[in-house]
Amino acid sequence: MLPLAPMLVPLVTALLAAALPRHARLRRGASLAGAVALLVCAAALFVRVSRGGAISVAVGDWPLPYAIEFVADGLAAALVLTAALLGVCAVVHALATGPASEERAGLHPLLHALLAAVMAVFLAGDLFNLYVWFELMLIATLGLLVLGAEQRHAEAALKYFAVSMLGTLLMLAAVGLIYGATGHLNLAALGAAALAPQVAAALPAPVTLLLLALLLKAGVFPLFLWLPASYHALPVTALALIGGLLTKVALYVVLRLLGGVFVNVPGLLVEALGWLAVITMISGVLGAAYHWDMRRILAFHIVSQIGYLLLGVALASPAGTAGTAFFLIHNVLVKAQLFLVCGLMWMAAGHHDLRRIGGLYAARPLLALLFLIGAFSLVGVPPSSGFWGKLLLVREAFAQDRLAWGGAALGVGLLTLYSMSKIWLEGFWKPHPETRPQRSFAHAALSPVAYLAALALTLPILALGLYPEPAMRHLELATQALWSAGGQR
C-alpha cells in the first residue's frame, strides 16, 4: 500500500477539503494535515526504497503485465519526496497569505488534486496511466487558472487548455500506436518487447510522437509560448507548485522513457533533442531578459531551465541521467522558492512589474537574503545547488565532446545572471518609485508564517548546495538501476 499512499493521501485530502466549502478553518486544517501526512508518507517511502530497493504494486491484484502497476524506484521516490515538500510549503503559504487570497473555496482541493496527479505520474508504471494522470494534472491546473474568475484568468485558461489539449491528444495517439506496435502498455514489458528487431523497427515514429507531446507539455522550443502567456494568471501559491513541478514532470517522463524503456532510440533523435535543448535554453533566457514583470521573467526561466534538463536527457548516458535527476530536484525547489519570494515581493511592494517597485532591500532584508539564495542557485554560483547540477551536466557534455552544448549551457548561465541582477537592482536596490514608499496593505499581509514557506524551501536548497554528496550518490545509484534495467533486457 505504501507506494500508493503518496497518490491516495492528497486525493482523500482534496475530497475532504472540497466537502467543506463553508468551513474555512476546517478546510485549511484538513489541507495542512493532508499535506503533512503526504510528506510523512513520502519520507517513509523514500527511506524504504533507498534501503530495500524498488517496490511495485499491481492495482487490483491482477497479474502483471496486465495489471495497472505503480513502481517506486529510487528516482521516483526522490521526486515524490521533493514534490511532497513543495506541497507542504505551498499549503503553508496559502494559509499565511490569508483567506482573502485563497478562498473562492477551490484552492485547497485543487492543490491537492494536482499533487495527487503529479505523484501518480512519478509512480506510474504504464503508459496509459501516465496519460490519464497528465489529464488530471491538466484539469486541476485549469481549475486553478480560473479561480480568479476575471477575464484574464479565463483567457489564460483557454490558451493553456488549447495547447495542453493538443499535447494530450498527441500523447494518446502515440500511446495507442505504441500499444499497436508492441501489444504492451506496462513500461517494463514495453522495454522487453522493444528489443525484438521487428518491433524496434516500428517504434521510432510513435516514440517520436510521444516525445513531441511530452516536450510540448515541458515547454521546449518552439512549443513554449503558452507557458509565459498563462502562468501569471495563477494565484501565487498555485504558481509556486505549478511553476515548480508541471513542466518538470513531463521532462521526468522523457528521462524515464529514454533512460529505461526505449533505450534503442535512433541516434538522430537524441542529436535533435540536444540541439532543441540548446535553442530552448537560449530562447527562454532571452525572453526573460526582455520582460519586466517578475512572473514572466521567472516563467521564461522555467523554459530556459527545461533546456538544461533536456540537454541532460540528450547526453543519453548514466552520468548524464544522474546529472539531469540532480538538476531536476534542484530546479523544482529553486523555481518554487523564487515564485514564493516573488509573491512576497508583490505583497511587500505592491506590484509585479519591476518598473513599479523598489526599495525592498531596505524594507525587507530577510526577503532580500531569500531572493539572493534562490537567484544564486538558479544562476549556478558555487557552492549552490545549481552549481553542482550544471557541473554534472557540463562535465558530461565535455566528456562526450559536445563542446557546443556544454558551451551554450555555460553562456546561458551568464544571461541568467543578467536577469536575476535585473530583479535585484530594480526590485531591491533602487528606491521605490512612488513617494509613499510602502503601500499600506503590505504590512498586514506579511506575517512571519508567510516567510516560513519560502524559508522551508531555502533550507533544502542550501543543503543541496553545501553538502550535495548524499543526494548525488542516491541519484547515481537510482539512475544506474534504471539504465541497467534498460540494458539487461
Partner 1 sequence: MGLMLAITISIIVAVGVLLLLSGELFRLVIGLAVLGTAVNLVVFMTARPGSLTPPVIEPGFTTLPAGAVNALPQALVLTAIVIGFALLCFSLVLAAWLAQRQRRADVDGLRATEPAPTDAVKPAILED
Partner 2 sequence: MTSRSTLLAVASRPLYWVLLAAALWILLRGHNEPGGGFVGGLVAVAASSLVAIARDTEAARRLLPLAPLPLAMLGVGLATLAGLLGGIGGAPFLTHLWSSWGLSTVVLFDVGVFLAVWGSLSGYVHALLADGGPASR
Contact partner, 424, from partner 2, partner 1, none, Cβ < 5-8 Å per class: none
Q: Is 15 in the site for partner 2 (CB under 8 A)?
A: yes
Judged by CB under 8 A, which stretch of 53-61, 224-232, 315-323, 427-435 contacts partner 2? 53-61
* Identified binder of partner 2 from the candidate list 8, 32, 132, 381, rule CB under 8 A: 8
Q: Is 205 in the site for partner 2 (CB under 8 A)?
A: no
Q: Is 391 in the site for partner 2 (CB under 8 A)?
A: no
Q: Is 19 in the site for partner 2 (CB under 8 A)?
A: yes
Q: Is 417 in the site for partner 2 (CB under 8 A)?
A: no
Give the number of C-alpha atoms closer than 13 A to the C-alpha of residue 335, restricted to the C-beta side.
Answer: 31
What is the smallest separation between the CB atom of 132 and partner 1, expressed in angstroms? 7
Hey, which residues between 58 and 87 contact partner 2 (CB under 8 A)?
A: 58-61
Contact partner, 59, from partner 2, partner 1, none, Cβ < 5-8 Å per class: partner 2
Count of chain residues binding partner 2 (CB under 8 A) = 17
What is the smallest separation between the CB atom of 67 and partner 1, expressed in angstroms? 12
**Nearer residue to partner 1 within complex by CB, 441 or 467:** 441
Contact partner, 339, from partner 1, partner 2, none, Cβ < 5-8 Å per class: none
* Identified binder of partner 2 from the candidate list 54, 132, 154, 177, rule CB under 8 A: 154
What gap in Å lies between CA 398 and CA 406, rounded to an integer?
6
Per CB under 8 A, residues contacting partner 1 are 128, 131-132, 135, 138-139, 142, 146, 151-152, 154-159, 161-162, 165-166, 169, 172-173, 175-177, 179-180, 185, 229-230, 232-233, 290-293, 296, 352-353, 355-356
What is the smallest separation between the CB atom of 127 and partner 1, expressed in angstroms? 10
The grid coordinates of residue 34 equal 493532508
Contact partner, 58, from partner 1, partner 2, none, Cβ < 5-8 Å per class: partner 2
What is the smallest separation between the CB atom of 149 and partner 2, expressed in angstroms? 5
**Nearer residue to partner 1 within complex by CB, 291 or 432:** 291
| Closest residue by Cα to residue 129 from 117, 112, 111, 114 | 117
What is the smallest separation between the CB atom of 161 and partner 1, expressed in angstroms? 5
Buried b (16+ CB within 10 A) or exposed e, 86-111: bbbbbbbbbbbbeeebbeebbbbbbb
What gap in Å lies between CA 369 and CA 371, rounded to an integer?
5
Contact partner, 8, from partner 2, partner 1, none, Cβ < 5-8 Å per class: partner 2
What is the smallest separation between the CB atom of 159 and partner 1, expressed in angstroms? 7
Radius of gyration of the chain (CA): 21
What is the smallest separation between the CB atom of 250 and partner 1, expressed in angstroms? 17
Q: Is 162 in the site for partner 2 (CB under 8 A)?
A: no
What gap in Å lies between CA 448 and CA 441, rounded to an integer?
16
**Nearer residue to partner 2 within complex by CB, 18 or 477:** 18
Binding mask 133-152 for partner 2 (x = CB under 8 A): -------------x--x---
Give CA torsion, residues 122, 128, 133, 139, to 10 deg: 150
The grid coordinates of residue 371 equal 531572493
Q: Is 158 in the site for partner 2 (CB under 8 A)?
A: no
What is the smallest separation between the CB atom of 148 and partner 2, expressed in angstroms? 11
Contact partner, 161, from partner 1, partner 2, none, Cβ < 5-8 Å per class: partner 1
What is the smallest separation between the CB atom of 331 and partner 1, expressed in angstroms? 25
Q: Is 197 in the site for partner 2 (CB under 8 A)?
A: no
Contact partner, 488, from partner 1, partner 2, none, Cβ < 5-8 Å per class: none
What gap in Å lies between CA 214 and CA 220, rounded to an integer?
9
What is the smallest separation between the CB atom of 342 and partner 1, expressed in angstroms? 14
The grid coordinates of residue 320 equal 548524464
Contact positions toward partner 2, by CB under 8 A?
1, 4, 8, 11-12, 15, 18-19, 21, 57-61, 146, 149, 154
